[in-house]
Structure formats: C-alpha cells, structure tokens
Amino acid sequence: MATIILRFVPPLLMVCCLGIIGLILTGTSFSDLMDFSLDPAFIPSFKTMFISIILEAFPFILLGVLFSALLQVFVSDSVIQRFTPRNPVAGVLFGSLLGLLFPLCECGMVPVVRRLIRKGMPAYIGIVYIIAGPILNPVVYTATWTAFRTRPEIAYSRMGLAFGVSVITGLILYKMIKSSPLRQASSAAVHNHDHHHGHDHSDAGAASVKSRFASTLSHASDEFFEMGKYLIFGALLTALIQTGLSRDTLAGVGEQPVLSNLFMMAFAFILSICSTSDAFIAASFTGTFSAGPLLAFLVFGPMIDLKNTLMLLSTFKTKIVITLIFLTGTLVLIGSILTERLFFP
C-alpha cells in the first residue's frame, strides 16, 4: 500500500500544487474558479506561507542534491568505508557530530544520506546524521543563541538534548537494522542509473573535467526532481494547516505540563520550518510556553517534520520510518520534560 501511495499520489498532488502555483502567479482566486466564498484573508495568507516554505527549503534541497552528486562522482565507495567507524558507539558519535563538518539543513539531508548508505556507510550512522545534523551544527547553534539572547541556556539545552536523543536512537537502530533499510525499487533504479554512468567512474583517471561535470549535473537533476515533488506536497499541506490554525487556542494548552510538550512537537511537525530559522518562531512563544515545550519544538521539528517524513518514506522502508518517528518522539518528549525539571526549576 505504501509503495502504491508513494508511486501514484505524489505525481497527482504535484500537478495540483503546480496548478496552485499557476493561480498564485496569475493572481487568480479560488473563488473565480469555484462557486463558493472563502475567508478573504485565507488566500493571501496561504500564498505567502506556501511560497515562503518553498523558497526557504529549495536552496537547501539544491545544496543537498549537489553535495550528493559530488559524492557519487568524486568519492569512491572505498573512501566512505575507510573513514566510517566500525565500532557502533564510535559510529553513532560520528553520525551525531557529522553536522559539524557538513552543516546541511534537514531539507537536503535525505539525498546525501541515501548516497552515503549506498556507498557503504552503515545505515544506522546515516539515519543518525539525518536526525542530528540539522541541529548539531554551528549555523543552527548561532541562530538559536541569537533568538534566545536573554536565555542562552535554551541554546545549550537544545544541543545537549539533540545529542542525547541522537545517540540513544542510533544505538537502538544499530540493534534493530539487520538488512538494508532502503526501498528496493529505488535502490535498483539508482543501481541501474549508476551503472549507466559507471564508465566515467571506472576510467576516472582519464575522464575529462567536462564529463565529470556532466555526470554531476545528471545525478543532481535526478535527485532534485525526485525529492522536490515531496517537498512541494509537504509545503502545500503545511501551508493549509498553518494558515487555518488560530493562535488563540495556544494559551490554554501552554498551562498543561505534558500536553504542552506534545502540542509543540505536533506543531513543529506540521509547520516544517527549517532548523536555521525555527528558533525565532520558538522565541515568539516564550511568554506562552515554558522551557520544556520550547525544547520539544526545537528538537523534534528538525528531526521529524511533515516534509522530511515524505522524503524519508520515498527513500526508506515504511517500517524504518515509523520506528524512527516513534523513537525520536518518545525520547524528545521524555528528554524535554526531564531537562525542564532538572535545569529550569
């Protein structure tokens, strides 16, 4: 069922999204096409939200697929295998801190990790990088510290909680994953694609710069269009939900200890805001929510959100994605509650 949904639904929804983009570009209103009235403020808000999500995420998608293509063309499988730790504890630490060297946003993580796994990196290390990299990097730390200038302990706690969740998740996945978590159809397709370009790689010494550049663009374009359709779908759903959500209901939720953490995690999942800017959104809720819910928002959102869940489902088996969501959600909920009680009395 998941395979059927991923194969047929995203292209249909992408057509719908392109139609919406066409309406936005031409200035046509939904009320001009359908015989019913909408809230006059809904369409402008939806347009702004949808376009902002796309414009925010696309540069990082592009960066991710370009980096992935460069890995494919210029980095051999043996190099990846040589530098990847074999000890599980060292491997989890390596994956958790890899964002310090490659500070990619979550929007560009999936294609890079998929390429690394196919080149020999253990799957659990790659998945740890997916959830830890968007938070444990200097760009996000700087943004968080800037957003919470008067409360720098929020920035420190965000990094510490994200590191702890990533390490525990990685060790559990190491015990669970016994075979490749990548989707077989996708893997086969990429194998054939790589085989098609393999002549350039096997003769790397004699290959010209032009052929390598062409191969890089070919890989990048394939990855970009594959990931882009899920991003557009996620942006559409996110804009619809975010536009229709009233903030007046937040005050009552913020007074409930556990419910407020769960609410902010769900809120982060729905908003799907890039990890380089979500701290400024969280800072706007400082007067409504305590430190625990804010940390739940700041840690869970970059690890698991609506748009990157769709990308994960397009790359990994459904069982692995569901397990990853359950693990990170449980650990972030428990960790955010404990962190608030221990360090924010």
pLDDT per position as a tens digit, 131-147: 998 899 887 898 889 88
DSSP single-letter state for residue 37: -
How confident is the model at residue 11, as a pLDDT?
Answer: 55
Residue 34 lies in a domain: no
CB 238 within 8 A of CB 271: yes
Bridge partner list, 316: 182
Residues in CB range of 258: below 8 A, 6 or more apart? 333, 337
Tell me which residue range forms the domain holding 111: 47-343
Is 3 contained in some domain?
Answer: no
Q: Please count the structural domains in the chain.
A: 1
Is 24 a member of any domain? no
What region, left, alpha or beta, does residue 27 occupy, with left being phi > 0 and alpha being psi -120 to 50 degrees? left
- Residues 195-216 pLDDT 10s: 444 444 444 444 477 787 787 7
The mean predicted confidence, pLDDT, of the chain is 77
Task: Give yes or no for residue 193 having a pLDDT over 50.
Answer: no
Min mean pLDDT across 87-91, 106-110, 333-337 is at 106-110
Distance (Å, whole) CA 136 – CA 159: 6
Per-residue confidence at 22, pLDDT binned at 50, 70, 90?
A: low
**Phi, psi of 300, rounded to the nearest 5 degrees:** -70, -40
If you average pLDDT over each of 14-18, 34-38, 118-122, 324-328, which comes out highest?
Answer: 324-328
In a domain, 42, yes or no: no
In a domain, 32, yes or no: no
